[in-house]
Amino acid sequence: MINIDAILAQVFNGIQFGVLIALLATGLSLIFGMLGIINFAHGSLYMLGAYFVWTCAQMLPLPGNFWLGLVLTLPLMALVGLIIERFLLHRMYGQPVVYQILITFGLLLVIQQGVALIYGTVPLPLGMPRYFEGEINLGLLRYPVYRLFTMILGLAIISCLWFFIERSALGAIIRASAEDPETAKTLGINTRTVYTWTFALGSALAGLGGGLHAPMIGGLQHTTGTEILLISFIVVVIGGMGSIRGALLGGIILGVVRGLAGVFWAPASDFVMFAAMGIILMIRPQGLLGRGGTR
Amino acid sequence: MKVGVGWPGKGFWTELFPALIMAAILVAIYFILPSKMMAAEILIMAIPTLAFILLLGYTGLLNFGTGSLFAVGAYTAGILLARHNVHILLAITAGVVMSGIISIIMGYFCIKRGGLIFALLTLAFNQLIWFIVWQWKSLTGGPDGIWGIKRGSLDLAIFSVNLKPTFNFYIFVLICFVLLFILVRRLIESPFGKVLMGMRESELRATAIGYNPETYKWIAFVIGGLICGLGGTLFALHQEYVGEHLANWFTSGEFAIMALLGGTFVLHGALIGSGVFIFLADFLNRFPILSKAGAWLLILGAIFIVVVMFFRGGIYGGAEKLYERFRKK
In a domain, residue A56? The reply is: yes
In the prediction, which pLDDT does A258 show?
Answer: 87
In a domain, residue B159? The reply is: yes
In a domain, residue A64? The reply is: yes
In a domain, residue A27? The reply is: yes
In a domain, residue B6? The reply is: no
In a domain, residue A1? The reply is: no
In a domain, residue B303? The reply is: no
Is 0.90 exceeded by the ipTM? no
Question: Is the CB of residue A286 less than 8 Å from the CB of residue A294?
Answer: yes
In the prediction, which pLDDT does A61 show?
Answer: 67
Question: Is the CB of residue A41 less than 8 Å from the CB of residue A270?
Answer: no
**Mean pLDDT per 10-residue interval, chain A, length 295 residues:** 76 89 89 83 93 86 79 93 90 81 90 89 81 76 86 93 90 86 87 90 93 86 85 87 85 88 78 81 75 47
In a domain, residue B257? The reply is: no
Phi-psi region at B257: left, alpha or beta (left = phi > 0; alpha = psi -120 to 50): alpha
In a domain, residue A289? The reply is: no
Range of the domain at A228: 8-283
Residues of chain A neighbouring B109 (CB-CB closer than 8 A): 278, 281
In this structure, which amino acid lies at residue A146?
Answer: Y
Burial of A134 (0-12, 13-18, 19+ CB in 10 A): exposed
Range of the domain at B125: 12-248
Question: Is the CB of residue B54 less than 8 Å from the CB of residue B216?
Answer: no
Q: What gap in Å lies between CA B155 and CA B138, rounded to an integer? A: 30
In a domain, residue A292? The reply is: no
In a domain, residue A214? The reply is: yes
Count of the separate structural domains present in chain A: 1
**Mean pLDDT per 10-residue interval, chain B, length 329 residues:** 46 74 86 85 94 90 92 94 89 95 92 78 89 88 85 80 88 92 90 88 85 90 96 94 90 92 89 92 84 81 90 86 84
In a domain, residue B283? The reply is: no
Give the Å distances, CA to CA, from B42 to A54, A272, B62, B249: 40, 37, 22, 20
DSSP B146: B
* pTM of the full structure: 0.88
In a domain, residue A230? The reply is: yes
User: What are the residues of chain B with a beta carbon less than 8 Å away from any beta carbon of chain A?
Assistant: 56, 60, 62, 109, 112-117, 119-121, 123-125, 127-128, 131, 135, 249-250, 253, 256-257, 260, 293-295, 297-298, 300-302, 304-305, 308-309, 312
Count of the separate structural domains present in chain B: 1
Nearest to B124 among A105, A106, A233 (CB): A233
**Cβ–Cβ below 8 Å for B301 and A107:** yes
CATH code of the domain containing A263 = 1.10.3470
Question: Is the CB of residue B284 less than 8 Å from the CB of residue B276?
Answer: no
Nearest to B302 among A110, A230, A277 (CB): A110
Nearest to B293 among A38, A121, A294 (CB): A121
Q: What angle do CA B63, B69, B75 make, to 5 degrees?
A: 160
In the prediction, which pLDDT does B109 show?
Answer: 84
Q: How far is A165 from chain B (nearest CA, A)?
A: 24
Burial of A194 (0-12, 13-18, 19+ CB in 10 A): buried
SS (H, E, C) chain A: CCCHHHHHHHHHHHHHHHHHHHHHHHHHHHHHHHHCCCCCCHHHHHHHHHHHHHHHHHHCCCCCHHHHHHHHHHHHHHHHHHHHHHHCHHHHCCCCHHHHHHHHHHHHHHHHHHHHHHHCCCCECCCCCCCCCCEEECCCCEEEHHHHHHHHHHHHHHHHHHHHHHHCHHHHHHHHHHHCHHHHHHCCCCHHHHHHHHHHHHHHHHHHHHHHHHHHCCCECCCHHHHHHHHHHHHHHHHCCCCHHHHHHHHHHHHHHHHHHHHHCCCHHHHHHHHHHHHHHHHCCCCCCCCCCCC
Give the number of other Cβ atoms within 10 Å of residue B5's Cβ. 7
